[in-house]
Amino acid sequence: MAYSTYQNLIGGEWVAARGGKTVLNLNPANSDDVVGAFPSSTAEDVDLAVKAARKAFTTWRLVPAPRRAEVLLRAGIRLQERKEHFAREMTREMGKVLAETRGDVQEAIDEAFYVAGEGRRLFGVTTPSELGNKFAMSVRMPVGVVGLITPWNFPMAIPSWKLFPALVAGNTCVIKPALDTPLSTYNLVQTLVDAGLPPGVVNIVCGTGPDVGAALVEHPEVRAISFTGSSAVGSLVGQRAAATFKAVSLEMGGKNAQIVMDDANLDLALDGALWGAFGTTGQRCTATSRILLQKGIAAEFTEKLVERAAKLRVGDGLDESVEVGPQINAQQLETSARYLAIALDEGAEILTGGRALADGTYARGTFFEPTVLGGVKPDMRIAREEIFGPVVALLEFDTFDEAIGMANSIDYGLSTAIYTKDVNRAFAAIRDLESGITYINAPTIGAEVHLPFGGVKHTGNGHREGLGALEFFTTWKAVYVDYSDKLQRAQIDNAE
């Protein structure tokens, strides 16, 4: 089957990796379908991209922010026009169903329009000076060259979360897309170029984490790193970036809990559980991987969830009737199988699913059955460690306080949900759940671009995408204008 060969984008030019190596991007639903060949780059390619970004920064930072925003506005309009095409290409390379890849592109569209508005809202602060005939204010300044490292599960949405606010703030970028899903990032950046983005403002270097990601993190001319990925890799990113005093934004893993109280609307909670656990084949940092059931409804809820999960149709995401696509690659498939073995060894029970699908139409893909585990206890690894697959664990509790403690007992803190009709409990959950996101009567997945996105504990280091992104991609400068025509010494003369 014929396929295209792609190159790095450096300084506005498409160029092959200096080492000449490429890697094939395969459709996880059908390994015979080659999406394309992409560069396998090295630190030399990263250095060229950083130098190009540094050169472009000298002029891009001087473009008025509203004019920078107009590029994003035009890009958003073009993304709308190309949405279906980009969604289909994303399903080929990532596997999730078309309804979800359309949503992924839509999220980039939403981000473009949202951040375009921020071009006229990069507000500083003016404040009275403590001295006479003196004016005091603060302004936002761009950081410089920023490095962006993005994951494979949202290969257009997450790059847009990082690229768009970085650009409107006046930074230039080097982005390393996930090697499993580079085409969607290429499509996003090409759309920016078509919308009038100047050469060198965004550069793409494709390759592995050790070869490209590490070089980007350690490069002395990169002033900030925004990373989304696993907690283990994020820890290394943070440590290595500290050596050159880089600002670092880390958005990492989750082990998200949906709490279902006795008074919940069970049909609604079931809908939320199915979508939260098996949407994107469970391959979301916000996926519902634990469902905490109050004992009064546990048996009924479990029976209905197992029945509905067993009926979910697994297959190629390009088929509109399919509800659950493949896992991204063989490694993720093996991870799901390994955790199922651990769960059984610890005493959990497989209520439905539990195996890879490898026969017939599944033979050339990486498919895993939607899986529900019962008999899970809070101290089991299956209840504490991220799997990133279509596997959900059911736990039972007696009281509201027990549920909150159970939900908080893990190392992660990204997303939580509670289903209840009791407004008092809902607000207590908002206050007490240790997570960056809490949903009331809705599943743990489904973020909106204009709210802060991120978590606590091993999930993140305090920065946020969405509402908080401009805080990360700008630095504050305090400005004092003294028009007294004499020396005034703050704190010293003010005390007289």
Catalytically annotated residues: 251, 285
Which token pair is 372? 């529900």
CB 212 within 8 A of CB 46: yes
CB 378 within 8 A of CB 406: yes
The neighbouring-strand residues paired with 146 are: 173, 224
CB 137 within 8 A of CB 131: no
Residue 301: CB atoms within 10 Å: 22
Q: Which amino acid is at 166?
A: A
How many angstroms separate the CA atoms of 85 and 269, rounded? 34
User: How far, in Å, are 159, 227, 261, 434 from residue 419 at the CA level?
Assistant: 32, 32, 6, 17
User: How far, in Å, are 137, 185, 236, 285, 345 from residue 370 at the CA level?
Assistant: 56, 28, 32, 17, 20
Run of H or E residues at 257? strand 256-260
| Burial class of residue 62 (count of CB atoms within 10 Å of its CB; 0-12, 13-18, 19+) | exposed
CB 369 within 8 A of CB 357: yes
User: How far, in Å, are 22, 187, 287, 294 from residue 447 at the CA level?
Assistant: 35, 23, 12, 26
Buried b (16+ CB within 10 A) or exposed e, 76-101: bebbeebbeebbebbbbbbbbbbebb
Tokens 């084949």 found at: 281
Run of H or E residues at 371? strand 371-374
CB 354 within 8 A of CB 345: no
Residue 427: CB atoms within 10 Å: 11
Pairing type for strands 145-149 and 224-228 reads: parallel
User: How far, in Å, are 40, 377, 435 from residue 480 at the CA level?
Assistant: 49, 60, 40
